[in-house]
A and B are shown apart, each in its own frame.
Chain A
Amino acid sequence: MELQQKITILSGAARYDASCASSGCSNDTPQRGMGNTSQGGICHSWSDDGRCISLLKILLSNDCRYDCAYCVNRSSNPVQRASFTAREVVDLTMEFYRRNYIEGLFLSSAVRESPDHTMEEMVQVAEILRNEERFGGYIHLKIIPGSSSDLVRRAGLAADRISVNIELPSGESLKRLAPQKRKESILAPMKFIGSEIGTSLVERRKSRKAPRFAPAGQSTQMIIGASPETDLQILKLSQGLYSRMNLKRVYYSAFVPVNDDNRLPVLSSPPLLREHRLYQADWLLRFYGFSAEEILSDDAPNLDESFDPKTAWALRHPEFYPVEINRADYATLLRVPGIGVTSAKRIIAARRFAPITPEGMKKIGVVMKRAKYFIICSGRPFEKTGQQPARLRQTLLLGDGSELAAPRQLVLPGMG
């Protein structure tokens, strides 16, 4: 098969992978006023769907012997199969890098003969790049569940980031939809990676010569809406992954039916809004000091469709507002809808010089059409604060109808 045809098949099969194709950019956070979308990561291009391209995102092979219900590449599907040799992937990466097309490589694969066999080949790609080609760019390797810890270690020593897909939010769902994968074969390498990263950090503090292990951390990905878990269950899972396994990122991808299968729910369309809300809630966990239990409860275990989770929290907690812009501390400012990490920091920096006026708030970049209901500036309100929650709900809804029409990312279930 010609190289060009392989690229077509194997990048086509990789495009549905949710994690952004880059080291630092995150095009999965489309919400305005919440976080900075490109924190230092370099985007090299933007594809026709508007997503950032920064890595050669590709599968080593789509020739799978597993049969996961939700995946295009499952063995029972009649799709055209292709596999690269390690050399081919190495050469493509180098040639693209020399021309400044990419920051590096994001390599994943279907399970060909066995997890170890496939993983070995993937690790070889990374090792050839590092040792023979002296490649200093970015490498992200997906770990095939069930591969030996020796291979996982080699992967972590060669790559900047490694990730194991958790696939589905619970063990039962995994058993039902991906019967050849076991929960333990996913969690074990995650734990292992977490502890190796920790050890390497400690060692490197002692000596700069100690080897780096996945210096950009580990991430994971799960499919949303293919199984019955609530948002609360999902967020608690993510919270645990962040705090106990030290993950850098959890990616959510809305389930898109690509196969007819009676184990799968029938959806009129992929739950994109739900995916979007989960990403917003995830931001609250990571950067805003919220806990899963604050965002959702057993009585209301799913995220509000009409409001982003921070506004939803604000509406449930009128006693917290109004916030005084010229006195509130950083954590409090962050709880104001319309004030993100950047504007909270800017507010604190600017008020050292002079009290901030309503004019100044705009200069700083606060989303006032949202924030104005929740703040006062040197004692002066912007709007009638302290409105009845029900009234405020309505004002926000009507005043911000665009929220529902926000661009959403459609992502299909991933591989590996």
Chain B
Amino acid sequence: MKKYLYDGTPEGLVSAISSILESGDDPQQVFLGVRKDTLFEEGLFLRNDSAKAEALFERLRLRAPDAVHTLWYFMMAETEDIESSLMRYVALAFEHGNQVNGYLTHPDVKAVVGTARKAGRELHRMKGLLRFEQLRDGTWLARMEPDHNVIQPLAHHFSRRLRGQEWFIYDVRRRSAAHWDGGVISFGTVEQFSRPELSEEEKVMQQMWQTFFKTIAIPERKNPRLQKSNMPAKYWTYLIEKQDGQNR
């Protein structure tokens, strides 16, 4: 089996896939993985070529727009070790067009579509679970630690929903942030983060929400297991309704 390596970036991955598909190798007979830079690593390194990656996206968009969508979500997962599956998936997408996502009985399609679906699910979940807090200066801040790198599509979602307020979304794990100033979104990384003071009104409204959250549950039907399975505890850190004390 032929072995290819790439630099570990999403762009590098897509351009590597493009090179392999052009090479005429049988995708079934090829392995693709991240270069680890160990001394005895075998395999041919494929250079990151952004023009090539762009071009592949464009061709795929024409042939199988659904697959481009899947690719997008797949990238959010930041998974390693199934790049070979992704390459074969892309080859199948060129062969079958949009129908490829229905080929769930194929192991590579199943792996890629499954990974993409998981990312999509978390994105959907974060649309509901993200909490904005009003700061002293009137701007809004939401913090999160999602498993997948969902900040871009999430920011676009909120640029439509909370159009009228200036906000920041901060991914604590990746130290990345999105900023909406009421007109445009910008993305960046944050070196040092200290949480700013909340406005007075914010504290009052958090209390109102906690009250509502408590009373809306039917007491005779307490079901913490169901609650947890729908809303895993890893998301509770930033949920106002899940804080008892004042300080977080």
Contacts and interface: CB of A to CB of B under 8 A. Distances in A.
B211 A8 contact: yes
Given A15-B217, A346-B102, A360-B105, A44 B212 contact: no
B213 A45 contact: yes
A101 interface: yes
Nearest to B103: A353
Interface stretch (B14-22, B39-47, B222-230): B222-230
A42 B205 contact: no
Contacts of A353: 96, 99, 102-103, 105-106
B117 to A, nearest CB: 11
Given A7-B215, A96-B209, A45 B239 contact: yes
A308 B16 CA distance: 51
B214 to A, nearest CB: 8
Nearest to B242: A45
Q: How large is the interface on B (under 10, 10 to 19, 20 to 34, 35 or more residues)?
A: 35 or more
A98 B211 CA distance: 17
B217 A101 contact: no
Residue among A101, A363, A409 facing the most chain B CB atoms (10 A cut-off): A101
Looking at chain B's contact residues, the main secondary structure is helix
B104 A45 contact: no
A52 B230 contact: yes
Nearest to B223: A50
A82 interface: no
Interface stretch (A53-61, A143-151, A276-284): A53-61
Interface string A353-384: 11011011001100000000000000000000
Nearest to B158: A100
A56 B241 CA distance: 14
B104 A350 contact: yes
Contact of B208 (A7, A57, A134, A356): A7
A50 B216 contact: no
A15 B222 CA distance: 13
Residue among A11, A100, A412 facing the most chain B CB atoms (10 A cut-off): A100
Interface in B100-136: 101-106, 110, 124, 127-134
Contacts of A12: 215-216
Given A98-B140, A346-B104, A349-B104, A15 B215 contact: yes
B105 A53 contact: no
Contacts of A56: 212
Given A42-B127, A53-B213, A95 B102 contact: no
Nearest to A408: B221
A99 B209 CA distance: 10
B227 A44 contact: no
Interface string A42-80: 111111111111101110000000000000000000000
B238 to A, nearest CB: 11
Q: Which 3 A-B pairs have the closest CB atoms?
A: A349-B102, A50-B226, A360-B105
Interface of B: 96, 99, 101-106, 110, 124, 127-134, 140, 142, 158, 161-162, 164-165, 205, 207-209, 211-218, 220-227, 229-231, 239-241
11 contacts: A45-B128, A45-B213, A47-B216, A49-B227, A52-B230, A56-B212, A58-B212, A95-B208, A96-B205, A346-B104, A353-B106
